[in-house]
């Protein structure tokens, strides 16, 4: 499965009623939260649903998904020298 990064700019198969079909990923994990680039509306869905709706990733976020998830859990002790 393709990676889902925080900050990804994605295009959905179906456009939003506001006319935009671009969204920014603002939360990842078990649930994915995306924000409409047209009207700012935030939608939450599970991972499988997100993958179904996503047509393509236009611009990938800067931090690898695994790294973001590791930071989110707060169990990063022992990681740095
Ligand atoms: Zn919208």
Domain ranges of the chain: 9-62
Question: What number of residues does the chain have?
Answer: 81
Q: How far is the CA of 6 from the centre of ligand 1 (A)?
A: 19
Place of tokens 């009623």: 17
| CA-wise closest residue to 10 among 60, 47, 49 | 60
Task: Spell out which residues have Cβ within 5 A of ligand 1, the ion.
Answer: 16, 18, 20, 36, 38-39, 41
Q: Across the 81 residues of the chain, what is the mean pLDDT of every consecutive 10-residue run?
A: 91 97 96 98 97 97 95 66 57
Q: How far is the CA of 16 from the centre of ligand 1 (A)?
A: 5
pLDDT of residue 45: 97
Q: How far is the CA of 71 from the centre of ligand 1 (A)?
A: 29
Q: How far is the CA of 61 from the centre of ligand 1 (A)?
A: 20
Query: Is the pTM of the predicted complex or chain greater than 0.85?
Result: yes
């Amino acid at each position: 499965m393709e990676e889902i990064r925080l900050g990804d700019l994605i295009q959905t198969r179906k456009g939003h009623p506001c006319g935009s079909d671009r969204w920014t990923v603002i939360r990842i994990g078990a649930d994915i939260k995306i924000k409409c680039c047209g009207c700012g509306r935030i939608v939450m869905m599970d991972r499988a649903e997100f993958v179904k709706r996503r047509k393509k990733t236009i611009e990938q976020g800067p931090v690898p998904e695994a790294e973001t998830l590791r930071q989110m859990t707060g169990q990063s002790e022992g990681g740095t020298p």
